[in-house]
Amino acid sequence: MKKSIVSCIPFALFVALLVGCGDESTTEVTQVVGMQVLENGDALPKCGKENEGAMLYSLDSAAVYYCVNRQWILMAGENGEADNSGSVAADGKDGASCTAKALKNGKGYKIVCGGDSVGVVLNGKDGAKGDPGPAGAAGASCTAKALKNDKGYKIVCDGDSVGVVLNGENGLKGDTGHVSLTSTSCDVVDSGNGLVSVSCGESSSPVILYKALCGSTPYDPEKLLCDMRDNQLYRFVLIESQVWMAENLNYRYVQRTDGGAKEDSSSYCFDNDSDKCSEYGRLYLWSAAMDSAGVYGGFADGCGFGTRCSPSGKVRGVCPAGWHLPDSTEWVALFEAVGGIAKAGKKLKSKSGWKDYYEDSGNGTDKYSFTALAVGHKTSGEFAFLGEQTCFWSSNENSKGIAYCMGFYNDDETVYINPYSKASAYSVRCVKD
């Protein structure tokens, strides 16, 4: 009986595989009927009543097993009993070997026997998530209680003493340290010219510190202005709420601004003597004072002789960064701050350098350290009135050819707001922004 059952198994397998096979290009086999898959043939489960007739496929050996009569049968026919009565049959063909190839999508394996695809074995789905395990018991809390002899602590956990921690012993006394040196006091001396001298102790040489440097020259920024364009230093003075340069500007502005005078330069030393520039500063055409070439700000581009301009806001003009060319209202505010325009000339002129007028001194009191010098001016190509007059440009114009400057004279205590030709060259004082 056993033999007849085994002989039927290949036919059953053939039927099962026939269900899973077909035209590989048009049909995808999604399951193997009646067959389980094992990765290792040595791990076959027990064959009993509960799985009688079950089929298993082993991936490692590409073999199929069948459970019958409580034992696994490899699906290959068993040897028949010898019978010499029959005639000798021709040799059978070699059986085809089978392999399992993983699918590209990783979801299973394709069974290939003798070069033909005979079926697909899909991977099993993940099992359901198991129920959470029971919660663990609460841990015991521990406390440390000081021993009565103060030598340590007893550790008590959940009411039970589990140990004692003793205090450590005192460490050995360290070696005596070295005796420290006596501290010395330091003297700081401000030289007043941007240098600070620091001396510590009687035998040490003083250390010289710079408050600031204008180029390579030390200076005190609280007392002097550094024009970073040419590293020249200028005094400045606070009068009421305004901060004014206390020296005439001496920056060499040589942009060709014409100004109607058709000069190659637009700022000059009196009599073209460079020593005069060092003493009195430079004389500027109004176009140069306004920086009509737009080198430093652009607020007064094109302002010069023969043109009208209405600059918006404060005009830096030829002044250093952070300073600007004062307008008429700022000049008037200065004159009011020193007692009015009628006496401003006397109080703002320098104490020397002004020629006498008959028997009267032309010098001022320089009460506010403004130090207006008798520089003279340049008009129609001629330098004149050195020691007798000076005039400071404002940023306001009167017409295409006229702008306002503030006139100081040796024979008068009053300052005059003069409408002078833009083609003339006068001095420049800057006020801080």
- Predicted confidence (pLDDT) per residue in 376-402, tens digit: 999 988 999 999 999 999 999 999 999
pTM of the entire predicted model: 0.55
Higher-pLDDT residue of 269 and 304 is 269
Give the tokens for residue 371: 């130090």
What are the pLDDT digits (tens) for 56-76? 788 887 788 878 888 888 875
Positive/negative CA dihedral, 149, 155, 161, 162: negative
Give me the pLDDT at residue 256, please.
59
Give me the pLDDT at residue 142, please.
83
Strand order in the sheet with 108-113: 98-102, 108-113, 116-122
Residue 42 is given by DSSP the state: G
Q: Which among 419, 416, 379, 378 has a CA at the least distance from the CA of 399? A: 419
Domain coordinates in residue numbering, the chain: 2-76+99-122, 186-218, 224-432
Give me the pLDDT at residue 243, please.
98
Give the tokens for residue 250: 């001496």
What are the pLDDT digits (tens) for 279-303? 999 999 999 999 988 888 767 878 8
Say if residues 257 and 304 touch (Cβ distance below 8 Å): yes
In one-letter notation, the amino acid at residue 407 is G
CB-based contacts of 313, cutoff 8 Å, min separation 6: 299
- 344 vs 289: CA distance, rounded Å: 23
Give me the pLDDT at residue 113, please.
83
The residue behind tokens 């006596």 is 182
Residue 272 scores a pLDDT above 90: yes
Give me the pLDDT at residue 149, please.
83
Give me the pLDDT at residue 276, please.
97
CA dist 277 → 179, 182, 280, 366, 403 (Å): 64, 56, 5, 21, 23
Positive/negative CA dihedral, 330, 335, 338, 344: positive
What are the pLDDT digits (tens) for 136-145? 677 777 888 8
Residue 148: CB atoms within 10 Å: 7
Give me the pLDDT at residue 73, please.
84
Q: How confident is the model at residue 407 (pLDDT cuts 50, 70, 90)?
A: very high
- 72 vs 380: CA distance, rounded Å: 129
Query: Considering just the CA atoms, what is the radius of gyration of the chain in Å?
Result: 56
What are the phi and psi torsion angles at 9 (to 5°)?
Answer: -60, -50
- 299 vs 316: CA distance, rounded Å: 8
Exposure string (b/e) for 356-367, b if CB count within 10 Å is 16 or more?
eeeeeebbbebe
Give me the pLDDT at residue 10, please.
41
Give me the pLDDT at residue 7, please.
37
Residue 343 scores a pLDDT above 60: yes
Residue 358 scores a pLDDT above 70: yes
CB-based contacts of 89, cutoff 8 Å, min separation 6: none
Residue 433 scores a pLDDT above 50: yes
| Region 105-130 average pLDDT | 80
Give me the pLDDT at residue 181, please.
58
3 state SS of 109: strand
3 state SS of 330: helix
Residue 141 burial (CB < 10 Å; 0-12/13-18/19+)? exposed
3 state SS of 125: coil
Give the tokens for residue 185: 């006091």
Give me the pLDDT at residue 85, please.
59
Residue 20 scores a pLDDT above 60: no
What are the pLDDT digits (tens) for 154-205? 888 877 888 887 888 777 887 876 665 566 777 777 766 677 777 777 766 7
Helix, strand, coil percent content, the chain, rounded in steps of 5: 15, 30, 55
Length of the chain: 433
